[in-house]
Amino acid sequence: MKVNRLGPLRQGLLTVVLLAVIAFAGYRAYSSYRQQQTSNLTGGRISGLKPIPTTNKEIHDVLPPDAILAISKPTFVSATRAKVQPEAPMIAVTIGNTTHAYSLHLLDGHEIVNDIIEGKPIATTWCPLCGTAIVYSRKMDGETHEFGVSGKLWRNSLVMFDRKTRSLWSHFNGECLDGKLKGKRLEMVAAMPRVTWAELKESHPDAQVLSVGDTQEGSNRYEMYQASSEIGIMGDALKDDRLPPKQMVVGVNLGAAQKAYPFPVFEKRSVFNDTVGGKDLVVFRDDRSLAVAVYQATINGKKIVFPQNAKGYRVQDSSTGSTWNLISAKAIAGGLKGRSLTAVPSIAAYWFAWCDFYPKTKVFTEK
């Protein structure tokens, strides 16, 4: 498939603009820190912008470390107090009975939130270049790590660093790329990588919303990039023409098996039953709410199957007749009312990013 790309001049200009946006975001955050030596965002634990050396030639420097300030002391407001536009894109993480919601536009200026939900330390991370919101456990080998933005990119993706060892970590797959912990891998936490605030609030009215100062939403600093055919900053390392580079996909990685579900396959139906790596899954994406999620397709050994005409996020399964809210993952009517589907870690990403990391990925096509 031939992919239309910007001409060299326009591409160069857009890259310059994109770098300026990133630098400006970092400058604003850093200036705020310099004015408040004990920033509420970080608890005063800043690396001092000392360079982080690396021998990995695939890792590219864009900004100094902490030029974009990660949040280490997050504050939240209730859903009723949050000032967020209904159509604003959010990432939602539910652990136990607690849901935390983060505006993707607000994360443009921070990219990492070091958070704790019901005692579980997590890092909610966002890479606007790859379009990926991914959550990881901050717990490894009995220690809890705090992460910052390194200012580096690997395959166009955010590279994080932990403040204890200053090792470098991939936002995209959780791998430690360089440093004392090289070779370790963070555990991905199941989340809803994208959903509009209106539907999230309806499904999780008790959600707590990230607030920076008096702001819960922020502005879309990457609107021009998202509307263009520009591919990250370095371009796509692997040109895989099975899909357009900026096509959004739902990505599932189950060890040796990876599969991408292009957003257009969900235009006529919002949910598919599929098998990846021998595991039965429910793959969900709703056009209206932008919601994305992947769930295990079994409850107590019984497979939950959804009909081909399923639309929206409230759908009835054809196995038990139960009706499900696939944003909250709960059955809201029928024999399984009150039961929940088990979430499987998944991401929403641009195709160029997904196939750069998983070149052997399969691509779902509707039969």
234-254 burial code (b ≥16 CB/10 A, e <16): bebbeebeebbbbbbbbbbbb
Could you tell me if 284 and 271 are in contact, meaning their C-beta atoms sit under 8 angstroms apart? yes
Could you tell me if 150 and 161 are in contact, meaning their C-beta atoms sit under 8 angstroms apart? yes
Closest CA to 149 of 108, 179, 191, 116: 108
Predicted local confidence at residue 37, as pLDDT = 29
At residue 131's C-alpha, the angle toward residues 173 and 101, to 5°, is 90
Could you tell me if 157 and 132 are in contact, meaning their C-beta atoms sit under 8 angstroms apart? yes
Predicted local confidence at residue 136, as pLDDT = 98
Predicted local confidence at residue 239, as pLDDT = 82
Q: Which fold has domain 240-363?
A: Rieske Iron-sulfur Protein (2.102.10)
At residue 163's C-alpha, the angle toward residues 42 and 65, to 5°, is 75
Predicted local confidence at residue 41, as pLDDT = 44
The mean pLDDT values, 10 residues at a time, for the chain of 367 residues are 47 52 47 37 50 91 94 97 97 97 97 98 98 98 97 96 97 97 97 96 97 94 94 79 96 96 96 96 96 96 94 96 97 97 97 96 92
Ranges of each domain in the chain? 8-46+59-223, 240-363
Could you tell me if 110 and 41 are in contact, meaning their C-beta atoms sit under 8 angstroms apart? yes
Q: Which residues on neighbouring strands pair with residue 167, listed in sequence order? A: none
Could you tell me if 116 and 131 are in contact, meaning their C-beta atoms sit under 8 angstroms apart? no
Q: Measured between alpha carbons, how far apart are the two ends of the chain, in Å?
A: 21
DSSP string covering 276-313: ETTEEEEEEE-TTT--EEEEESEETTEEP---TT--SS
Quick check: helix, strand or coil at residue 130? coil
- State how far the Cα of 353 lies from the Cα of 263, in Å rounded to an integer: 15
Tokens (6 digits) for 23: 């630098």
At residue 13's C-alpha, the angle toward residues 8 and 15, to 5°, is 95
